[in-house]
Structure 1
């Protein structure tokens, strides 16, 4: 089974809060919270895919991103490769253009939300990274 390459954005605001959204009930892992992003199309760079997905899903752009981690994960019915980037210097105000609920949360608050299993390493990396910045 070929893994679906997914560009994922850990979107940070000026207060270092993280943007999360709830997956549609009908989607794979529906009803759980996630970091925004989507499939990298053939011939598309991760950065371009992330810019496209954030514009389509949230109506925002960004001036800066940096790689955070890669997460290969096999759900059994679907394999993914999450290519995760920290996204800062936002352009515009995030809104759920696909009807998805959004939340801006602190790194500590991430533990209160239920994420797909593939996102657990992202939550850990964000908590470590933002905890280091605060300390």
Structure 2
């Protein structure tokens, strides 16, 4: 079924990984699109803004942390059509940040192991992100101590 959305919404998404491998997730507000589900932090790209600048801005606004462009590595790009909304998720690995994340918009946050991600409900468009994290965790387990 084709989307009824006028245009695709471009979104910057960060998979924030702290030493030890835990991943930060946030719960979407019940009133939001896909509300009540868990997600990886980020947000919409503003007009005239490149995607990495959007990611840095969103992490500051939503979580109160500073991320460095050098700590970001492109992970994947996901195009998904929900029918009422089409999104393009630009997903980035983020290796650490300055400050401790806090839910500045009232959203609950959790640090979880990659294996624990399967027990959380995510929007459909996030499934490929979870799969990518799990694949990376399997690859890393051969080198982890």
Q: Same fold (TM over 0.5)?
A: yes
**Which protein has the bigger strand share?**
1
What is the rounded CA distance, in whole Å, between the counterparts of 1:46 and 1:134 in structure 2?
30
Matched position secondary structure for 1:90:
coil
* Structure 2 unmatched ranges of 5 or more: 1-5
Q: CA offsets, 1:92-127, max 9 Å, x none?
A: 000101110000001100000000000000000011
Q: CA offsets, 1:39-76, max 9 Å, x none?
A: 01111111100000000000011231000000000000
Could you say which structure has the larger radius of gyration? 2
1:5 counterpart residue number? 10
1:40 maps to 2:37:
no
1:104 maps to 2:121:
no
Report the RMSD for the aligned CA atoms in angstroms: 0.8
Tell me the matched-pair count: 135
The answer to whether the 8 Å contact 2:16/2:96 transfers is no
Superposition misfits of 4+ residues, deviation over 3 angstroms = none
* Structure 1 unmatched ranges of 5 or more: none
